[in-house]
Structure 1
Amino acid sequence: MQDKTVEPTPAIQAITGGPARERVGLVVNGAVASRAVQTIVEAEAAGVRQIWMTQMPLAPETLSIFAAAAMQTSTIRLGSAIVPTYPRHPLTMAAQALAIHDLAPGRLRLGIGPSHRPTMEGMYGFKMEKPLEHLREYVEILHAGLWQGKIEHKGRYFNVFADLPRTARIPILVSTLRAGAFKLAGEISDGALPWLCPIPYLLKTGLPVLRQAAAEQGRTPPPLVAHVLVAMSEDRSAVTSATRSQISRYGKLPFYANMFADAGFPVAADGTMSDDLISSLVISGSHIEIVQRFSELLASGLDELLVLPVAVHEPDSELTRLAQLIGQL
């Protein structure tokens, strides 16, 4: 039987104030597992320091892809943004995270969140009540198991009593859209993962709430990893059209529609996003213009950037050029 060992907290838990290349990560499409692994390998070769992947409903399993990628890479950090909590018991999530940590010590950043009611209730059949309360319990269980090796939790949603074979201080980040989620992230998480939030909304609402909540708990504010869309094109009309096509479904999701309204960009009754909202979410232009915008965002108070490629004309070559741009920051 293996003894429990306590490992040091990895230095990557909060990457703030470091070189720009360390603070900008690339989103990798996980629709085909083998291609995702190859993209991660190529991103590391291009100098990218962090990749992120989203667990989409019924898509290949993200943490399994990370395990495969871990065996073919040596330094690139692997972040989930996010893995939905409802379909996975927290002990199962902890076991998967521990396996990846064994394969790639210090390289996993585990981003989790409740996802959306149409998916969790309409597809999986879960009852989604008070998702932030559910997420709070989930994070408490993961922290206890992974960081301390012992879980003694009796709550509204989970009753879990277990000893893990060893600890692994894997950063646990949470999804954030509205003020309540940013507050929760500041109180208990190792990072906030907003998705499709306009930058002014993050700076005026999300970041202040995050920092205030952390201060009230006597904690150092966790990093805010801002999600930005990037199109490697100077054709503004084509960029707007491609971006709208890629993200149009989010305007129909209530959680996002409410956040867009909070940010001053209400969507139409049918979920259609305005051109102003699209423009607020996507960065495009020349290599120099994109790098300059990255610099401005990182200087504005945002800790890191999570970069989602927007395919305009040639998806493969545009992804390659974006990875190279990030790797050369």
Structure 2
Amino acid sequence: MSHEKLPKTIVGVAISGPSSKYVVDTIVEAEQEGIPAVWLTSGGGSGDSLSVLAAAAARTSEILLGTSIMRIWSRHPVTTAEQVSTISSIAPGRFRLGLGSGINSTVERTFGVRFHSPMTHIREYMHIVRSLLHNGSVSFQGRYYTAHSELTGISDDVPVMSSALGPKSYEMAGKFADGAISWVTPHSYATGEALTILQESSNAAERPTPPLILHVALCVTDDMSEGKRGVRSRLGYFPTIPFYSNMFARAGFLNSAQLGWTDEMIESILVCGMECQASQQLDFLFATGASEILVSVVSDPGKHASISRSMRFVSDYYKKLNS
């Protein structure tokens, strides 16, 4: 997988909205504003992420498009590879696929499957998708997935990344993925223990260390408390999810399921302040090991001026670093 055509330093933005059309229009506006990359989550409220990004691919020409993440339970990996190949043909060199298991209670309720062995599921899923996209064919019999298929074209410019939360997921990403995508993770943990695991795992597999895509809550504002309110509003339930509470415990924040967001926990994932302060904080994250930053813009609910200010900052920061 070659990354030669990608910008040297990328700060992307997670996009969400009330409808697919709204999200596509927002992606078009983001490209016009100079934002280099956008990501769609599995719970952004905009419908199927691959379909939305296919529509966005047809209306844009430069912005990078990615999933962070697409839940593997929603379709067979051969179908995913076929859809991603289609998007890649519309937007060559611009699509990044992030895969993950999702949250067990949501997955079981939504898809009617038993959530178990997520690492094995993701590893097999990634193998099938990467083989099809990068080699054009696959013949695989795994524990959970079987695939014997070919694609008419090769999309070896599409990195296949995985979500990363705990040690096992970073170890797996180091061995098999084209990138590790964090989410609502304390920055010191992600660029410390987690990055070390990623590096050691890839070294053991004798492959280059895949990039660490570091998730950051961002609020560019004169009111420092707005960022904390924004995190509680937009990301409020994450500390109560068992996968996340276990991760927070490893990062030094105990009993998050009972306590919810403390100010210290919020500060561990938040970049907040005026433009010069936010710029210094992002510089530090890149210096300490982040390969790329994935921003969730947070603000007081409905405060559109703050959202616009943060989006302008992302564009200006990217232009400054890559000028």
* TM-score, normalised by the number of residues in structure 2: 0.93
Q: Deviations over 1:11-34 (max 9, x none)?
A: 357x6xx2xxx3211111143211
Structure 1 segments of 4+ aligned residues over 4 angstroms from their partners: none
- Superposed, 1:123-162 pairs within 5 Å as 123-162=110-149
Residue equivalent to 2:52: 65
Residue equivalent to 2:103: 116
| Letter of the 2:238 counterpart | Y
Alpha carbons 2:219, 2:272 under 8 Å: kept: yes
Distance 1:194 1:282 in 2: 14
Distance 2:111 2:258 in 1: 24
Out of 90, 94, 111, the residue aligned to residue 81 of structure 2 is 94
Alignment: residue pair count: 316
Out of 25, 29, 33, the residue aligned to residue 38 of structure 1 is 25
Residue equivalent to 2:64: 77
Residue equivalent to 2:313: 325
Q: RMSD over aligned Cα, in angstroms? A: 1.7
Task: After superposing the two structures, state which structure 1 stretch, 81-90 or 306-315, moved more.
Answer: 306-315
Alpha carbons 1:46, 1:327 under 8 Å: kept: yes
Aligned identity (percent) is 32
C-alpha distance 207-77 of structure 1, shift in aligned 2 (>3 A)? same
Out of 148, 152, 165, the residue aligned to residue 165 of structure 1 is 152
SS at match of 1:123: helix
Residue equivalent to 1:207: 195
SS at match of 1:197: coil
Distance 2:53 2:44 in 1: 17
Q: Deviations over 1:178-205 (max 9, x none)?
A: 0000000000110000101101101221
SS at match of 2:59: coil
Match status 1:227 vs 2:215: yes
Distance 2:144 2:57 in 1: 33
| Letter of the 1:65 counterpart | V
Alpha carbons 1:30, 1:54 under 8 Å: kept: no
Out of 229, 232, 236, the residue aligned to residue 224 of structure 2 is 236
Residue equivalent to 2:92: 105
Match status 1:11 vs 2:4: yes
Deviation at 1:47, TM superposition (A): 1.1
- Superposed, 1:181-220 pairs within 5 Å as 181-220=169-208
* TM-score, normalised by the number of residues in structure 1: 0.91
| Letter of the 1:218 counterpart | E
